[in-house]
């Protein structure tokens, strides 16, 4: 194999690994069951 093909395979494996780790992290955070409460808007200044 040439060097470019090896680099492409390695970066592909790293990319897939990061994607799977991200999905696992999101699932773990979602399992906590904490209710998603939006930020209070009454204290924020009205800016256009």
State residue 4's pLDDT score. Answer: 94
pTM above 0.85, yes or no: no
**Residues of the chain predicted below pLDDT 70:** 34, 43-48
Give the pLDDT confidence of 25-35 residue by residue, as tens digits.
989 888 877 67
Q: Residue with structure tokens 């699932």?
A: 27
14-41 CB burial, b ≥16 within 10 A, e <16: eeeeeeeeeeeeeeeeeeeeeeeeeeee
Strand, coil or helix: what is 29? helix
> What's 44's DSSP letter?
S
């Amino acid at each position: 194999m040439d060097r470019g093909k090896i680099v492409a395979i390695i970066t592909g494996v790293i990319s897939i690994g990061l994607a799977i780790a991200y999905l696992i992290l999101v699932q773990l955070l979602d399992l906590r069951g904490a209710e998603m409460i939006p930020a209070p808007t009454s204290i924020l200044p009205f800016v256009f």
